[in-house]
Amino acid sequence: MKVIILAAGYATRLYPLTKSTAKALLEIADKPLIEYILDKVRKVENISQIYVITNNKFYDDFMEWSRSYQEIVDLIILNDGTTSNDNRLGAIGDISYVINKMGIDEDIMVVAADNLFTFDLQPFVDFFYKKKSDCITVQNIYDTKELQRTGVVEVDQKGLVLSFEEKPIKPRSHFAVPPLYLYKRSTLHLFTEYVKSGNNPDAPGNFIPWLIGRQNVYAHFVTGKCYDIGTLESYQHVSDSYRKK
């Protein structure tokens, strides 16, 4: 299995913090956000390669960080060539870019670099191999405002995803979807098809409602916290929380 960490966004809602620093390199309790994610990824069995996809603006910064980060040998930083929020590829465009550029022909894990989560990933991977289907993570959220800021799914009793809506005004359930996904090797070609068909490539969750119209996707329920570092307020809240630990 290979891992794609999405870090090519421009995080304009976090200006001025992210005007000259990539969101994934912002520090939380004196440690870059991306390192918390890598701490979790490193614990998963049978990971053969980790790719971090960023943009041209922050590529050199990620390269400098990676030289000082010695925990992972098989860490490759990729530049999607974009220079601003106006010409970004979007998360799904970046996934397709990595798959095609690196010729990936294995199952993949996709992780957004702007979310800090406390749960382990191995149970999710075990669930994926048991189901032999593409899988997403799901957690119970009962705050409507919080649900309106994320993807929300409906699932059946077996965990099959029946519907997915990104940032719904009226959430159909309390099942929120953190940006953690597992895709089978046989699914990878569909990312290129999705992008070439003119679908919205921005948020990674946009791929799910399109995908469930073609094949089964299952939801793995997780417990623990998942913090979306999307605004100055959320960044400050998470920073304060981790400093208190």
Asked if 108 and 3 count as a contact pair (C-beta separation under 8 A), the reply is yes
**pLDDT at position 244:** 62
Identify the segments of the chain with pLDDT beneath 70. Answer: 70-73, 244-245
Q: In angstroms, how far apart are the furthest CA atoms of the chain?
A: 47
**pLDDT at position 108:** 97
CATH number, domain at 180? 3.90.550.10
Mean pLDDT of the chain: 90
In 69-205, alpha helices (H): 91-102, 122-131, 144-147, 189-196
Q: Whole-prediction pTM value?
A: 0.93
**pLDDT at position 73:** 57
- The total number of structural domains that make up the chain: 1
pLDDT, one tens digit per residue, over 136-150 is: 999 999 989 888 888
Query: Which structural domain range is residue 213 located in?
Result: 2-243
Q: Is the peptide bond before 16 cis (omega within 30 degrees of 0)?
A: yes
**pLDDT at position 154:** 94
Which residue has tokens 């960023």?
A: 54
pLDDT, one tens digit per residue, over 79-91 is: 999 998 889 999 9
What percent of the chain is helix, strand and coil (3-state, nearest 5)?
35, 25, 40
**pLDDT at position 121:** 95
